[in-house]
Structure 1
Amino acid sequence: MTLLKLAAYEQPLKWAALLLGLFSTVSIVQDWQLAAMMFGLPFCLIWVFCGWLRTEPQLKHINVIFSALYVYGIFRYFFINA
């Protein structure tokens, strides 16, 4: 499946990203670290996809960096709390 075939799903993915962003923000306010990272990672991955789809290099690269930080944070959370 190519990116052009997935373009039909761009708008629903952006709505899903909005919901994930809201859940992540509530998690941050409630001091639920793991939940914030778990909601934040798919949020960033959706925007990485949309950045590649629309060739928005700044958006793509920023979200790749944030995705890596979320993965690091999730692994660190489980390693320290295990």
Structure 2
Amino acid sequence: MMDLDWASMVGFVGTACIIGAYAYLTYEDNPNPFILHGTNLTGAALLTVSLVVHTNWPSLVLEGFWAAIAIWGLAKALRGRRKNG
């Protein structure tokens, strides 16, 4: 069995964040967008760290889009909070 280095472990934590966010979205009838998109952004950032060390260009591009969508979702939630605030 191959030992996992720190970058792979960081990547696994990122994967857990993204899977957890998707499970949260599926489980909750009215999910908190800050939890959902914040967890997705954290996961994308952690996976990006792993992918910079162990470069996989298609996955790195995917994480860039994943992070951008999460940032968009957070911005949308902030605008909604200010509008209703």
Normalising by structure 2, report the TM-score: 0.74
Q: For each residue in 1:39-80, what CA deviation from the matched residue of structure 2 results, as whole angstroms up to 9, or x when unmatched?
A: 110111111122211110000011111101111110111112
Unaligned runs of 5+ in 2: none
Q: What percent identity do the matched residue pairs reach?
A: 5
Q: Is residue 20 from structure 1 mapped to residue 17 from structure 2 by the alignment?
A: yes
Unaligned runs of 5+ in 1: 1-7
Normalising by structure 1, report the TM-score: 0.76
Quote the RMSD (CA, aligned, Å): 1.9
Larger radius of gyration: 2
More helix by share: 1
Runs of 4+ in structure 1 over 2 Å off = none
Considering Cα pairs closer than 8 Å and 6+ residues apart, tell me whether 1 or 2 has the greater RCO: 2
